[in-house]
Each structure stands twice: as C-alpha cells, then as structure tokens.
C-alpha cells in the first residue's frame, strides 16, 4: 500500500452568482442565485514513501482544494484519501502529527515575534521531546542558516528568510510527509535556489515524502521526478517528467548562425520561427525529421557558422497541455449542443 492513496476524490461547493446589468448593485441586495462549482473532479493517484511530486495547474484548478483535503482541513464531497493508513479528516489530530504544511501565501509563524518563539509554541502543540527539538533546530540552523534571523520578528524578515523559517517550522516534529503549497512564490532567484536545496536535502537524507505545488517550472525541473498536472479539477497528466517531455515535447528548435542573411529556407515539415540578422530559428518535429536532415538542407545554400538544438521548455509543454484541456472543454460543449 502506498503512503498516500487518493481515490475518486471530488469536491464541490456553492458560489453566489452576482447580478449584472441594469441596477445590478441594488438587485444584488436580495440575490440568492447559487451555482455549484466542482473544484476537484474525480481525481485518483498514489504517492510512494520518499517521492517528491510536483503538483501543478493554473490558479483555481483545484490544487489548493485537494491539498486542503489531504491535510485534513476540508472533507471531500466524495471519494477517499488514505495517508499512512489514516483518513485525514477523520483522524485529524493523529494525521496532523504525520504531516508538515507550508502555505507560501500565508506564514504559520506568529507575525510580530521572532521565529524561535513560534517554534516554542509548536514544540508544545506537537509534543516534540526536548532532544528531538534541539537536534532538529540545530540541523535547520545549519541547513537554512536560521541563526541569522531566528531572533528577529517575522514581520521584519525578507520573504526568502520567512519561507526558510516556515519550512523549519513545518519540519520540527519530524513529519513523514510535507505539503508545500507554492513555497517559492515571490522569492528572489538566490533565495529560491537555497529553498530548493533544502527541499531536496530533506527529501534525500530524511526520506520525507513531499508534495509540492508551484507556478515556477524551474522548481519542478530541479526538484521533482514526477509531476501531476491538474486543470479545471481534473487530472490531465501524472507521470515522470522525462515521459512528459518525450510524449508531448517532440518539437525541437534548431538555431543556426549563417555567414550571410538567410533566404529560401523552405524546408518541408519545418517552420521558420524567427530571423535576426544572420541568425535563424527553425522548428521541426523530431519524429519526422532529424536535426542533421534540417542542417543538411540549410547547408545546401548557406555556410553554417554555428548551431544549437533547443529542447522545449517544460513550461511551454505545460501550456500546451492546459490549452488542449481547454480545447477539449470546447468540444464537449459542442457535443452537448448537438445532443439537444
């Protein structure tokens, strides 16, 4: 049995439909129109102990809602979750001992006091033994350089420091699973790098299972072996990053630097993306052509001075997947109209 098992998870809630148009402001005073909104729609997956999973999707896709269900904050409308053999919302307290949670948007530390004081409170709440507390605190002092700011009120910390302090807070009680909801949001490049190092480190040395949501694909590429893409409440992709690239990213770009200005580069099955001086970007599908095919065609007419092949960024692949999800939605709509 996997550490985390999610079966047919579903969550819906009601939303008020605001009136628009003539005198909308006044008519809203007695508005009672609600629609049911499906935030998470029949999602299933498993996560093994020690995995580091990237969980991505656009805003409002259902990421946070599913994390809230896995952390025991919300109860699903339907479906099951079993984490370390427990149902989060039924055995909320025992489950809470097992997990650590960081919401990037909202610190769990007391705003006006130094992190070290917050840690003392958490020590009591999680009933952390003195020895474990001291040991962990010392580890994090090294890893996250907590000592720099552990005595400064949180409101005076930079976002990067605050996030480090939050990560330490979530790890104090040795959780088996860590939920990180956008832990790198708004953090500068250097601080991001440091956070990633720490996340990688605790995953590797402590075997902590980590579920990470982010909008920064660099986080995913540098940290995760596996990713799940969710949009509109549905799971669009679940698998390794390598597979994602080979399945969806078959387009390559050849960047060629020529001796002279490019002309007559009409090679079948390719597209010229951009020209700039003597440099040209040519896109091709690697299933249909090889880079050397393209290169030879170009070499027939030009002298090539330099060239590189660019792999697609994971970001553009993901964008494509969202897009195709969107297209499918449109098609569904079309079918529904035909049925009528």
Nearer to other proteins, 111 or 263 (CB): 111
Residues 52-71 that bind other proteins (CB under 8 A): 65, 68, 71
**What CA–CA distance (Å, rounded) separates 322 from 31?**
34
- E strand or H helix at 197, and its extent? helix 189-205
Nearer to other proteins, 69 or 229 (CB): 69
Residues 15-44 that bind other proteins (CB under 8 A): 24-26, 28-31, 37, 39
Q: Which of 2, 38, 73, 283 binds other proteins (CB under 8 A)?
A: 73
Q: Ramachandran region of residue 277, left (φ > 0), alpha (ψ -120 to 50) or beta? A: left
**What CA–CA distance (Å, rounded) separates 191 from 232?**
31
Residues 139-168 that bind other proteins (CB under 8 A): 153
Residues 77-136 that bind other proteins (CB under 8 A): 77, 89, 92-94, 96-97, 99, 101, 103, 105-106, 108, 110-113, 117-118, 120-122, 124-127
Least CB distance to other proteins at residue 128 (A)? 11
Nearer to other proteins, 31 or 138 (CB): 31
SS3 250: coil
Nearer to other proteins, 59 or 105 (CB): 105
Query: Across-strand partners of 229?
Result: 56, 237
Nearer to other proteins, 96 or 267 (CB): 96
**What CA–CA distance (Å, rounded) separates 149 from 115?**
8
Least CB distance to other proteins at residue 107 (A)? 9
Three-state SS for 80-135 is EEEECCECCCCCHHHHHHHEEEEECCECCCCCCCCHHHHHHHHHHHCCCCHHHHHH
Q: Cβ distance 183 to 197 under 8 Å?
A: no
Residues that bind other proteins (CB under 8 A): 13-14, 24-26, 28-31, 37, 39, 65, 68, 71-75, 77, 89, 92-94, 96-97, 99, 101, 103, 105-106, 108, 110-113, 117-118, 120-122, 124-127, 153
């Amino acid at each position: 049995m996997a550490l985390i098992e999610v079966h047919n998870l579903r969550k819906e809630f009601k939303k008020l439909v605001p009136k628009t148009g003539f005198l909308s402001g006044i008519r809203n005073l007695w508005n009672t129109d609600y629609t049911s909104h499906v935030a998470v729609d029949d999602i299933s997956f498993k996560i093994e102990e020690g995995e580091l999973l990237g969980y991505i999707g656009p805003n409002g896709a259902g990421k946070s809602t599913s994390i809230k269900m896995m952390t025991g904050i919300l109860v699903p409308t339907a479906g099951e979750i079993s984490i370390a053999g427990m149902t989060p919302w039924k055995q909320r307290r025992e489950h809470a001992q097992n997990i650590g949670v960081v919401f990037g948007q909202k610190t769990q530390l007391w705003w006006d006091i130094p992190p070290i004081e917050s840690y003392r409170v958490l020590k009591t709440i999680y009933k952390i033994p003195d020895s474990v507390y001291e040991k962990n605190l010392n580890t994090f002092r090294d890893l996250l350089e907590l000592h720099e700011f552990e005595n400064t009120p949180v409101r005076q910390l930079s976002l990067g420091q605050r996030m480090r302090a939050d990560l330490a807070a979530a790890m104090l009680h040795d959780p088996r699973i860590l939920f990180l909801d956008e832990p790198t949001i708004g953090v500068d490049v250097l601080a991001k790098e440091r956070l990633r190092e720490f996340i990688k480190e605790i995953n590797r040395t402590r075997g902590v299972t980590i579920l990470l949501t982010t909008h920064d694909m660099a986080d995913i590429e540098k940290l995760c072996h596996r990713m799940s893409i969710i949009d509109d409440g549905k799971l669009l992709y679940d698998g390794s990053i390598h597979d994602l690239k080979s399945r969806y990213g078959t387009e390559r770009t050849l960047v060629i630097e020529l001796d002279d200005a490019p002309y007559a580069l009409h090679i079948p099955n390719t597209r010229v993306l951009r020209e700039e001086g003597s440099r040209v970007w040519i896109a091709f599908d690697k299933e249909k052509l090889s880079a050397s095919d393209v290169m030879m065609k170009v070499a027939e007419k030009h002298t090539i001075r330099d060239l590189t092949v660019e792999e697609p960024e994971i970001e553009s692949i993901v964008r494509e997947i969202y897009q195709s999800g969107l297209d499918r939605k449109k098609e569904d709509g079309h079918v529904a109209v035909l049925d009528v």
